[in-house]
Amino acid sequence: MVRSKILVVFALLTIPVFLAAGDRGYRLSEPVFEDGYYVYAVENTMGIETKVSSPARIGAREQAIMEELYNEFSAWNNLRAQSVRLRFENERAYLVIVPSKLICEGKDMAGYLPSGMQFSYISGYLEYNFRMLVDNLFLRFFGRFVDREQFCAEMAEAVANPFAYIQANDPAYAMRKLVSVEKELDKLQTEAAENSGSVEELRSSLKELSARHRRLREEHEKLLSDYRDLLYSVMVLHNTGWFRGPTPFDREGLKRVVELKERNPSWNAEEIAPIIKDEGFELSNQEIKLILKVYFQEF
């Protein structure tokens, strides 16, 4: 009876959180070594595709992390998973859940998550960073996970009013708004030159728009600065190793990696690394990969 209950609980979400195999109520296959990772397939009663990957064989530390993640997500009675991926990378763990159902404040969010939900775990902290598609608008949903209630409330708010969510959270929106105001200014200036009879009226409009433009630019610069600081802090937090804690990045090197990736979207870390080293920047391959993960969501 105990074994049967464990199987049912595991099948509801299929996050493979204990790897002690048979005595845990489910079976873990022998790993297959692919592209530098040991890949484990998890057999479960629901037949939901579930995999765990790690650069080394799963040990006690990984089992403890998986148990902590399981304790969190198995309590989500509003969630049913279609597939689950858990990948270990040094001291971090990356979890991707593609839900078939996720009810938040009475509404199913699964249809707004084209690539599922991506979480990263390090030193007891869980963060989320993924895209939502709402009314043909892509929203970047990111932050530090506090609890299910806050997570669901914010997601429901984003779905209910995507434009307000973008305005409050997306620096790119402020830039688009700034460009729109600049175009409006150019149009008014052209009309002023062609219509001398309404010069004073246009001057007043231009003055008002200029003040509005200045405020928007200041707001955009602050948003952009805060956004860059947030990305940099996330990367520093994750830039750790076995014998060192969070380590600052070479900011100029970081900017160069982002520039190369934006110019060459198909390039990966292995193609960017030689150029960065030739140009004298002190960034490791692991740090370059971390930059691509944070800035371009290349997991």
Distance separating alpha carbons of residues 242 and 61, to the nearest angstrom: 13
Contact 131, 139 (CB under 8 A): yes
Contact 106, 123 (CB under 8 A): no
Query: Which two three-digit tokens encode residue 272?
Result: 């960017």
* CA 143 centroid distance within chain: 8
- Flag whether the pTM goes above 0.75: no
Chunk the chain into consecutive blocks of 10 residues (it has 299) and report each block's average pLDDT, rounded to whole numbers.
38 40 58 91 71 91 86 88 91 93 95 94 91 89 92 94 79 65 76 65 80 83 71 66 63 88 89 91 87 80
Distance separating alpha carbons of residues 143 and 230, to the nearest angstrom: 10
Distance separating alpha carbons of residues 29 and 40, to the nearest angstrom: 6
Q: Tell which residue, 218, 217, 253, 216, has the closest CA to residue 232.
A: 253
Residue 92 has a pLDDT of: 92
Q: CA angle, corner 229, sides to 227 and 233, nearest 5?
A: 120
Q: Quickly list DSSP for 256-275.
A: HHHHHHHH-TT--HHHHHHH
Domain ranges (residues) in the chain: 2-161, 171-236, 249-296
Q: How far apart are the first and last CA of the chain?
A: 40
Work out the burial of residue 42: count CB atoms within 10 Å of its CB; fewer than 13 is exposed, 13-18 middle, 19 or more buried.
Answer: buried
CB-side neighbour CA atoms (13 Å) of 21: 10
Query: Which two three-digit tokens encode residue 136?
Result: 């043909």
Distance separating alpha carbons of residues 234 and 129, to the nearest angstrom: 11
Q: Give φ, ψ of 45 to 5 degrees.
A: -70, -25
